[in-house]
Structure formats: C-alpha cells, structure tokens
Amino acid sequence: MYGRFADPVRPARPARAAAALALVVTLAAGGRAAADEPEAVEVAPPPREVVEPAPKAGEVSDSEVGPAPDLAPKAYADPKDKYRIDRDRVIFKSIEDDSKVRSQDQNPEEYEAWNEVLLFARQFPTAELEKHARRDLTFADLFQDVRQDYKLDLVYFQGRLIRLRKLEPTKRLTEAGVPAVYEGWLVPTDEPTGNPVCVLITDVPPGLEPALAMSQWVGFAGYSFKLMRYESQEKRLDNQQFVWKRAPLLMGRSVTLLADPTAPVTDISWRGTFLPAVAVLLGSVLVVFGGLAWWFRRGDRRAKAEIEAARSNPFAGGTLVPPPPPLAGRGWTEDD
C-alpha cells in the first residue's frame, strides 16, 4: 500500500500541469512579440529631376510659349490694363525693329504679330483708344533708341494727314471680317513735313476718302509697332535711286477728323458769317443813298417848277402886270 503512492516511473499530476502551463505561457509571449513588431514598408525612391536642355539659337522652349490665351472676360484692377498688349509674348519678341515690314515667308512671327495688333485695336471704339492712350511721347521718342521702352504702347498724336491709300487685307484679317486696311502718313503737331509717322487703320470715318495728297487735320491713337524702313519718293542726286528712310509705325482702328488749328479763318466762317454781313451792309448803304437821291430829286423838281412859274410872265386881261412902286425916300437900284 505504501509503495503504490511512491512509484518513481509515473510523474505526479501537479508536475505535468505546471509544465503544460509553462509551455502555453511561452507560446503566448512569442506570439505577442511577433504582433508588436512593425511591418516593413517599401519606400519609393525620390523622383529623378529632369533637366531640359537649353534651346538652340532660333528655337523656342515649350516653357516660353505658355498656355493658350483666355478669351473669357477679365476683371482689371486698372481700367487701362484692358487696352495694354502683353509685349512679352513670343510673337512680339520676334518683331524686327529698324527694318521693312516682313512678309509671312520672311518672318512668320512678325507677320502674325502684325495681324494680331490690328485685330486687338479693332475691338475697341476709337474714342476709347484715344481716351486711354498716352500723350506725353513725341516723334523723337519713337525714332531714337529709347523707342524700345515704348514698344506696343498705346500712343496718341494730332497732326496733318497728308496721304491715305487703301490696301488689300491679309487672309487672317479677311477671315476676321476686316474688308480693307488703310495706310496713312501723319505729320505730328510741331514736326516738319520730313518727320511723318506711318499709321495703319481698318476703318475710315465719314467724310474722309483715300488720296495720294491731302491736308486734313486728324487725331489718332495707335500701338507703337516698330521703327519701319520704307522707300520714299525722294531720289538721290548721284544715281537717281529712291532714298530709303525710317518712320515709326503705329496701328489703330481709325482717325478722328479735327478742325485745322493753324487756319486763321475757316471756309465755313467766311461763307456763313462774313459774306452775309457784307451783303447786309451794302444793301443798307444802297437803300440810304437811294432814299437821299429820291428826296433831292423831288426837291429839285419843286424848285424848278417855282422858277418856271416866276419866269412865265403871265398876262392878266391882256396887259402886263406892272412892277411894284419904289419905296418912298429912295430910288430903285439893282440891289432892290
């Protein structure tokens, strides 16, 4: 009986339970440690910076072209911003200054800029362009080197229009509904005839017709495009070839007809005021002299009638009327 409880081959139950409990605790601790470890996160490498090669001479980088122009109405902080042209656009940078106006084949960018400036000016009434144009520039400002500071500025001039001719519009202008372009030559105020500016307009005001020679005082607001070289009608003395000259080229919508401030008396005032006044004065003088002549002639007829009556020697009963007797105390003399 005693030896059955002290069997060394079979372990006691409490010892086996303790071993099982230790195994469970060990497994639970290992699982908790694995759960606490953070997951490995795959990190993408940083993007590689792409360096765009510099454009070659004559090429335009895509970053310089910029987005397409927004045609929707815009709100402007300054009302004058509405009438300003962005001179930093690529087509405007390609304008060849101090040269002839380039064709589409010679300079496509300048050709496109030429069309775009005319269309830009045509969207505004002439009066608005004149109101917002700057008036502090002279012919010299647009002729000398400082002209680059005023490129595509809206400028106003007054002066004498000495020539205007009609030109055929380009395809771009025709598609935009422009029927014609007019080239004018304007001599600004206080400038000699040899310092004209060339103006391009798309509309002609009523009362103005193209002519190769004219003298019409006008006002004009336009955008300074370039210093243009042109072949004048003046010939060289040595070879009789036409002389090439330079003039500022301005682009606007139209001109405004003005009265000539240099004329002392206009035709309208001469015919409408001076001539009627002279006619009234002459008529009054004729009436006065006519009345006086009639009055004097009437008096002459009466006097002649009295003289004739005194000389007629009328007879009374066949005898001559004797003269009155002499006064007493004195004899008759020739004085009586």
Residue showing tokens 């505004």:
124
Q: State yes or no: pLDDT of 188 exceeds 70.
A: yes
Which range, of 3-7, 231-235, 261-265, averages the lowest pLDDT?
3-7
Beta carbons within 8 Å of 209's beta carbon, 6+ residues apart: 164
User: What does pTM read for this prediction?
Assistant: 0.59
Name the CA radius of gyration of the chain, rounded. Answer: 55
Residue showing tokens 């955008």:
223
Q: Give φ, ψ of 134 to 5 degrees.
A: -80, 145
Q: State yes or no: pLDDT of 77 exceeds 70.
A: yes
Question: Residue 38's pLDDT is what?
Answer: 43
Residue 58 pLDDT class (50, 70, 90 cuts)? very low
Q: Which DSSP string do the residues of 225-288 spell out, in sequence order? A: EEEEEEEEEEE-TTT-PEEEEEEEEEEEEEEEE---TT-SS-HHHIIIIIHHHHHHHHHHHHHH
Instruction: Name the residue among 253, 236, 237 with its Cα closest to residue 245.
Output: 236
Q: What is the mean pLDDT of residues 191-203?
A: 97
The whole-chain average pLDDT of the chain stands at 78
Q: What is the pLDDT of residues 265-317, one digit of tens each?
A: 645 555 666 677 778 888 888 877 777 776 667 666 666 666 666 665 555 44
Question: Residue 289's pLDDT is what?
Answer: 73
Q: Could you tell me the two tokens for 9?
A: 């081959």
Kindly compute the dihedral angle of the four CA atoms of residues 162, 166, 170, 172, in this order, to the nearest 10 degrees.
Answer: 90
Q: State yes or no: pLDDT of 60 exceeds 60.
A: no
Residue 81 pLDDT class (50, 70, 90 cuts)? very high
Number of helices (H) and strands (E), helices first, in the chain? 10, 5
Q: Are 224 and 202 in contact (CB under 8 A)?
A: no
Measured at the CA of 68, the angle between CA 65 and CA 70, to 5 degrees, comes to: 135
Cα–Cα distances in Å, from 203 out to 119, 213, 224? 12, 19, 18
Question: Residue 282's pLDDT is what?
Answer: 82
Residue showing tokens 């005319």:
118
- Using a 10 angstrom Cβ sphere, with 0-12 exposed, 13-18 middle and 19 or more buried, the burial of residue 139 is buried
Is the torsion defined by CA of 241, 246, 247, 248 positive or negative? positive
Kindly compute the dihedral angle of the four CA atoms of residues 98, 99, 101, 104, in this order, to the nearest 10 degrees.
Answer: -120
Question: Residue 325's pLDDT is what?
Answer: 60
- Using a 10 angstrom Cβ sphere, with 0-12 exposed, 13-18 middle and 19 or more buried, the burial of residue 15 is exposed
Q: Would strands 242-257 and 216-235 be described as parallel, antiparallel, or unpaired? A: antiparallel
Question: Residue 222's pLDDT is what?
Answer: 98
Distance of alpha carbon 11 from its chain centroid, rounded?
116
Could you tell me the end-to-end alpha-carbon distance of the chain, in angstroms, rounded to an integer?
225
Q: Would strands 197-201 and 242-257 be described as parallel, antiparallel, or unpaired? A: parallel
Q: What is the pLDDT of residues 93-145, one digit of tens each?
A: 999 999 999 999 999 999 999 999 999 999 999 999 999 999 999 999 999 99
Q: Are 255 and 220 in contact (CB under 8 A)?
A: yes
Residue 78 pLDDT class (50, 70, 90 cuts)? confident
Counting residues of the chain whose pLDDT is more than 90, the rounded percentage is 51
